Structure 1
Amino acid sequence: MAEVWMVFFRAGTCDLEAAATALRDHGLQVSQEPGLLIASTGESQPFRIRLSSEPHVQAEAIEIGAGTPHEAALRDLNARFEVAIGDLDEALDEINTLIEVQAALQEASGGYLFLPWNGHLSAP
């Protein structure tokens, strides 16, 4: 089962094209399918990236931000990149690619990174 982590941001500030450019700028190979980016180093497992601005996204951002130093900022975030990785342990073993994907998406969107497996939330 895939693990999914997210980068929350304000809708309209970033799209999949900008994300693809940022990922390439970080040295990743990127392929595109309708509504989906697939990024990897060529040797790493693929990171499958979707953009969502469904109504539940803002509600989840508010819930994730509650009680954190980022609570006020997350109230206004209504879009996110949802990044699926097939094997979290493998991704953590080869953490440099994971970090590059995270950095590229945060830089492109000015977004807040949320890692559900450890509850980590970080500002852009």
Structure 2
Amino acid sequence: MSTDTGIDLVAYSPKDGDARTIQVKTNKRVKPGGGTGKSALDWWLHDDSPAELVAFFDLASERVWLMTHSEAEENAQQNSAGRFHLYMYTDPTVRPKKKDRLVHQWEFERFLLEHHVHATFRI
């Protein structure tokens, strides 16, 4: 299967015998939000991705957040033109404009691979 389809990995769960499709999104390092704002990690994802799961990878810290496609869409702060934008501020001083959205990196702790993989793969 080609990565052009939006699927980068297929992971097999020995516990339930199911395979899960995964799209991997990477970020080289923290950068200023919007080019000049507070430090953040961010990823863009097509809303019609066929992958069941999305792995958001920060190459600099070697941290991975794993979400179902619907969790990623639900937690994305922006959605436009068939894509959604998920970002995490690494600067704890950021004051979010909307209180009902996760925006700080620490707020996404439950989605870290080591926390979320057990529920996803029923390990």
* TM-score, scaled relative to structure 1: 0.25
Which of structures 1 and 2 has the bigger CA Rg?
Answer: 2
TM-score when normalising by structure 2 = 0.25
Higher helix fraction (1 or 2) = 1
Structure (1/2) with the larger strand percentage: 2
